Amino acid sequence: MLAAAILFSAPLFLISACSPSPAAEEPDLFEYEGAAVGNNSAVVNTIIQLPAAENFTGIKLETKEQPYGINVFYDWTETSSSDKETAAHNATYLFALIDNAEWIQFDFDTGAGVEQYRLTRERLQAWYGVDLTSVDKQKELEELLDQYLAEDQKIDALLTES
């Protein structure tokens, strides 16, 4: 009887083990909308859901005096992704979600040195022509990113403006 039970349950086990699991839901980054630079948890939880999260090594929050800002650190020694596109993309999300952030600096440790990109809220919003705090849906923000991050020359111009 035990052998018959195993014989009949084995195919059910194999079928359930081979069937695809339900698709993981996209993270809703806008759950952190309205957060402040001083909210370490919101800032980190946002960054670890953005591109290059696997290379993220830490943050430093500048909250003692205004303008408030965020330093984001990445280990870029073993990646071929564009650090400039990552900086522009991730800054867009951070400025849209973190209300009192006025600047964000990204430090990409390449092993041969550190590439730094510093963006201000004012410069990024002027580049987009949009007040990022008025964007309240992830899909809307992604459409904006798709439109503006399609050309490397535009990103280079954004990150090299003085």
pLDDT of residue 151: 87
Q: What is the torsion angle, in degrees rounded to the nearest 10, for the CA atoms of residue 122, residue 123, residue 125 and residue 129?
A: 120
User: Is the distance from CB of 67 to CB of 129 less than 8 angstroms?
Assistant: no
Tell me the backbone φ, ψ of residue 60, rounded to 5 degrees. Answer: -135, 120
Say if residues 38 and 61 touch (Cβ distance below 8 Å): yes
* pLDDT for position 6: 53
C-alpha to C-alpha distance for 92 and 124, rounded to whole angstroms: 7
pLDDT in tens, the chain (162 residues): 555 445 455 554 544 455 444 445 667 789 889 999 999 999 999 999 999 999 999 999 999 999 999 999 999 999 999 999 999 999 999 999 999 999 999 999 999 999 999 999 999 999 999 999 999 899 999 999 999 998 889 999 999 864
**Residue 19: its pLDDT value, please?**
45
Q: For the packed helices 152-160 and 121-128, what is the interaxial angle rounded to 10 degrees? A: 150
Give the per-residue pLDDT at 12: 46
pLDDT for res 23: 46
What pLDDT is recorded for position 3? Answer: 52
The pairs formed by 120-125 with CB atoms below 8 angstroms and a separation of 24 or more are 121/95, 123/158, 123/161, 124/88, 124/91, 124/92, 124/95, 124/158, 125/95
Q: Residue 28: what pLDDT?
A: 78
